[in-house]
Amino acid sequence: MRNGRSKLAVLAAVPLLATACGGGGGDTGDGSDGGGGDLSASLTGAGASFPDPLFQDWIYTYSNDVQPGVSINYQSVGSGAGVEQFLEQTVDFGSSEEPLSDEDLAAASEARGCEAVQFPVVFGAVVIAFNNPDLDGLVLDAETIAGIYSRDITTFDDPAIAELNPDMELPGDEIVPVHRSDGSGTTYVFSHYLSTEVDSWASEYGEGKELDWADGLVGGQQNDGVAQGITQNPGGLGYVNQSFAQEAGLSVAKVVNEDGNPVAPTLEATIAASEEADIPENFQFAIDDIGGEGYPIAGSNWIFTYTCGYEQAGADAIIDFWTWALTDEGARELAGELGYAPLGEGLTDRVVAELEKTNSENAAGDSGADEGADS
């Protein structure tokens, strides 16, 4: 059931002024002010493939036009590997579609000697995609999606799907479900949705970055591997981030939300879903029970840093880059163009304040961290 949630406005069309922490050298408008930045650092990050198209464009613009002295290498290895590498301290920042658990935070603190920092940077939709233009706009609900992935529903003309699509001529093709074979935040968002909506799914499969899938499914590495699995298998159907579906030219389903509305995964529907999120101070949340005009399979992407252990130049670059990505008008517009919903103004202020905790405890907590860290 839907509950009373505080609404956080997420207005992709309304830019924010880059006022916090320098904002990547100031508001660049279109993100191309010709450079002039004075930072110098080389950063590495790893994690979710869900936001990778956006992250790569952000990094390119920032390193070429905002802070040419900053090099950022983000590896799209999946959320599971991103969390693992962050906890192993082999990267400067991690990324996942699932926030760090209390156990992860405790492990990070013990290993680093100081607290970890986590904050959301963007919202996105997980779409149900297929490689058949005649099926674009096919209506599915949580029960039919769960039935497809549990192999209780094996053809597109199954009565359960036909009931939701009385005006569509459905083929009798066999459905070939495609899933992530690596540890994946996209899988977490997808399986969390099904677990909250379908009791039988919750009891048999549950939620997580990796699942014990039913027999007869096809696995793919990262979002682009699932997209490839969809296109290469007749009857292929899979869950991917909206941006990957757009890039691959895949057809997508409308999904029935909590209010019974079949909703297509548009940017506006993702924004509407993100407004349903009740976001606590520790930024550990999920987007559940989406109604109205919201698309129901939606999630966020989190970035992880530490409050100590960085050389100061690296910490300055981390804070500056993510502040720029969150507040610059051009960066926010780019997110919208790729199908991601930027954070609303109030949430952005909260996130920037959290981000600025990066390396804030360095003088007190640098034992066991980088010996060259500069307080």
For 27-71, write each residue's pLDDT tens digit: 444 444 434 579 999 999 999 999 999 999 999 999 999 999 999
Answer whether residue 23 is part of any domain. Answer: no
What's the confidence (pLDDT) of residue 36?
A: 55
More confident site: 7 or 159: 159
Asked if residue 196 and residue 237 are part of one domain, the reply reads yes
How far, in Å, CA of 358 to CA of 115, rounded? 9
Q: Which position has the higher pLDDT, 30 or 181?
A: 181
Answer whether 313's CB lies under 8 Å from 39's CB: yes
- Residues contacting 234, CB < 8 A, separation 6+: 173, 176
Final residue of a domain: which of 222, 239, 273?
273
58 close to 45: Cβ distance less than 8 angstroms: no
Quick check: 1 pLDDT over 60? no
pLDDT at 337 over 60: yes
Which residue segment(s) compose the domain that 57 sits in?
A: 39-123+298-365
Task: Specify the higher pLDDT residue, 37 or 240.
Answer: 240
Residue 12 has pLDDT above 70, yes or no: no
Average model confidence (pLDDT) across the chain = 89
Are 118 and 129 part of one and the same domain?
no
Considering the domain architecture, whether residues 231 and 263 belong to the same structural domain is answered as yes
Output the pLDDT for position 363: 56
Task: Give the span between the Cα atoms of 100 and 119, in whole angstroms.
Answer: 10
Shared domain check, 112 and 130: no
Among 251, 241, 367, residue whose Cα is nearest residue 309: 367
- Claim to verify: residue 216 and residue 160 sit in the same structural domain: yes
Overall number of domains in the chain: 2
SS3 state of residue 133? helix
- The answer as to whether 281 is a domain residue is no
At 102, the amino acid letter reads D
The answer as to whether 174 is a domain residue is: yes
Residue 237 falls within a domain, yes or no? Answer: yes
Average pLDDT over residues 14-27: 39
pTM: 0.86
Q: Are 238 and 257 part of one and the same domain?
A: yes
Taking the C-alpha atoms of residue 338 and residue 244, their distance in angstroms, rounded to an integer, is: 9
- Kindly report the CATH number assigned to the domain that includes residue 259: 3.40.190.10
Q: Name, of 222-231, 253-262, 338-347, the range with top average pLDDT.
A: 253-262
The strand pairing partners of 13, in sequence order, are none
